[in-house]
Chains A and B, each alone.
Chain A
Amino acid sequence: MTPEPDPELREALLAAVPSLRAFAISLSGQVDRADDLVQDTLLRALANLHRFEPGTNLNAWLFTILRNLFHSEYRKRRREVEDPDGSYAGRLKVQPDQGSHLDFEDFRSALAKLPSDQREALLLVGASGFSYEEAAHICGCAVGTIKSRVNRARFRLASLLNVEDIEDLGPDSMTRAALQG
């Protein structure tokens, strides 16, 4: 079917771009790659407009497309890069003894260290404003799985950023984990 982007739809797609970009940048950690992802998402959405059910959440639909594109690309890249997490090691300087000082740089580094399933769950629920149900739909998994991932993502971020006093959660292993990269 030929895409027919009427002005209203075009506005809706344009309006979705900032949140798609924020999600893509946070997910991939790279602005250029994120913008390519957003562009591919828009093109795919336009090519599949007939599959969108009017009246349902356009943003959720777009996020689903972006997320799927991200993962299929990630799988491709993973075959090329033996240890994807290793690439962060050089850049990552999360020193717990820097105290409670937090800035976005530290936060982004910590976010990048999360397994991608946890990162995306946290971004969808904690930042993009989706409900657990919507996030589960976007990721194609159970609501309980999303809750679990969000919970573990927060926990891991807190330990990486040394946000709390984690004395009953094994500070030694946490410190090692934070420094290990």
Chain B
Amino acid sequence: MSADAFPSDRGALVRTEGLTMRFGGLAALNDVSLSVERGGVHAIIGPNGAGKSTFFNCLTGVLKPTAGRIVVNGEDVAGLPPHAISRKSIARSYQVTNLLRGATVLENVRVAAQSRHHPWRLHRHYRAYHQVIDQALAVIDAVGLRGKEEDLASNLSHGEQRTLEIAIALATEPMLLCLDEPTAGMSAAETRQTVELIRRIAGDLTVLIVEHDMDVVMGLARTVTVLHYGELLAAGSPAEIQADPRVLEVYLKT
């Protein structure tokens, strides 16, 4: 593994250095430097308006950061457009469900998988590319949406749509999977299932998760980073974070 060849870089999959995002006079992110280790689930928490989503949007190319670097595998990716970020093996799900609503579950996942194969073929039927379809079906199987392949994405339940979000992201074969509040709006049972799913997939890849639900975070995450008014407040293990007086103060206030 290349990670072993460079022991100094071992562990850090993503590192931000002085990441800053200003909207006019407002700094949604101010000089945030953090690093995400390889493997496991890492959480970013913070009260509303802390800059969590802005951080995600900078990381996935939706926003171009005003200043700072985002280093993935030793390469600065800050300011690259979303499709280029995706090709750096970073995938994301959205806080507000963002699917191809008029397409089937299979097509949602298949077209995502296809982006890693030969999307520029114009003359052959897309179904002739069995490998892409098999890969999509494997992902659908893995997230537990089997039997729903031919359903339209818009006809799925809310929980299933959230799961499909994750399936689409997984189909692009990411190293880093960014989940923006994956359990938002879910029932307790659905939340449990999603937590299980995230735990299962985190074995193979690194998951970065933005979450409000403290129980979800504390049960899942290896490390927790707390943002507050766009600044890094604290970082550490879940136990350390739960005992940190500054964090308690921020969360009690809101």
Do A and B truly interact? no
Residues of A within 8 A of B (CB): none
